[in-house]
Amino acid sequence: MSRLARATVDLDALRHNLAVARRRAPDSNCMAVLKADAYGHGLLPVAHELAEGADAFAVSCLEEALPLRLAGLRHRIVLLEGFFDAGEITTLAARRLDAVIHQPWQIEALAQADITAPIDCWLKVDTGMGRLGFLPEEAPAALDRLRRLPGVGTVRWMTHLASADVPDSAVTEAQLERFGALAGSSTETTAANSAATLHGREAHADWVRPGIMLYGASPFEDAGIHPALRPVMTLEAALISVKRLPAGHGVGYGARFVCPESMPVGVVSIGYGDGYPRQAPDGMPVLINGQRCAVIGKVSMDMVCVDLRNAPQARVGDAATLWGEAPLATEIAGYCGTISYELFCQLTPRVQRVYRRGGNHGQG
């Protein structure tokens, strides 16, 4: 048996979650966010699966957009960070890629560009995120300048919500007020990320931009999953060692965990070299043959140790589920002081991606 570190992607769940986004925002177009290799799930397999139900795709940069075009996908593709230098503009025009415009220099670069096909642009307004975008008082002049350029096609408005994961947030309300006062009804607008798509009809506007919700993880602060969503990724590995250690025996580097009694200890074929979080604390759950066990000792590059007292019949070769339907990625993220987004994105190429339909992806 070859070393197992496998992320199984449930394509049916992926489609289901996109359908949830469409039901929550029935009057909006849907821009599926595929940046960072579709949040670690695989850019092209995810894009092809969502192609029928999505109106557009969003990626971070040109390097993420080109594979979609080369794969034959003809959807609108929006570069959320726009272009990084003027040399990219001709490629955007040739490949029919939309640019998010968030800096004055980008407008001037478009003014100087020698292109035959106009580029559709999304003017980003910083309504309170404090990241990319023109301040509200700067945005009208930027819009006017963009609209006068022959190399620019349709201009749409965009903003990003800083606190949409907090329901009924006053920050979100203030951002939407600023954005609405600017955008009016003169052109299409987008503000809603996953959290605002699920909870916040006032933010839906013309386009919603579901990201993490497509992959079945909750965008909200609680550790559970939104009841309408289905987990997409199941991360699995296998037990490669099972032995009994005596009371007082240390486990792993630095002996962070010391056996309180004679106990069975398993070694699972995954580690931080695969993207499994090195900061995993003692007690973080791992499912062994359906039984909830616990991480013990520091995570190594290729291995993690688990307490098998809850699964005394476990044997070498048995399946270990690191996250999926149970435990949820959001729960694991909570143990590690991070978010499910990071868990998904940091999985390395050493983890095999397998694409299937339906659930229950046990090793078998």
329: left (phi over 0), alpha (psi -120 to 50) or beta: alpha
Residue of 35, 215, 272, 335 marked active site = 35
Give the residue carrying structure tokens 């557009």.
Answer: 56
Asked about 272 being catalytic, the answer comes back as: no
Residue type, 50: L
Asked if 41 contacts 232 with a C-beta cutoff of 8 angstroms, the reply is yes
Greatest Cα-to-Cα distance within the chain, rounded to the nearest angstrom:
77
CA separation for the pair 35, 268 (Å, rounded): 30
Residue 207's SS3 state is strand
CA count, 13 A, side-chain hemisphere, 295 = 27
Give the DSSP H/E element, type plus range, for residue 336.
helix 329-336
- Of residues 39, 253, 335, 355, which has the active-site annotation? 253
Whether residue 251 contacts residue 245, with contact meaning beta carbons closer than 8 Å, is answered with: yes
The answer to whether residue 253 is catalytic is yes
Q: E strands along 211-332, which residues?
A: 233-245, 250-251, 257-258, 263-268, 285-288, 291-296, 304-307, 319-323
Q: Where are the beta strands (DSSP E) in the chain?
A: 5-10, 29-33, 56-59, 76-79, 97-101, 119-124, 152-158, 189-192, 207-208, 233-245, 250-251, 257-258, 263-268, 285-288, 291-296, 304-307, 319-323, 352-356
Query: With contact defined as beta carbons under 8 Å apart, do 272 and 278 qualify?
Result: yes
CA angle 353, 97, 197 (to 5 degrees): 65
Amino acid code (one letter) for 33? V
Report residue 138 as tokens: 């700067």
User: Which active-site residues does the annotation give?
Assistant: 35, 253
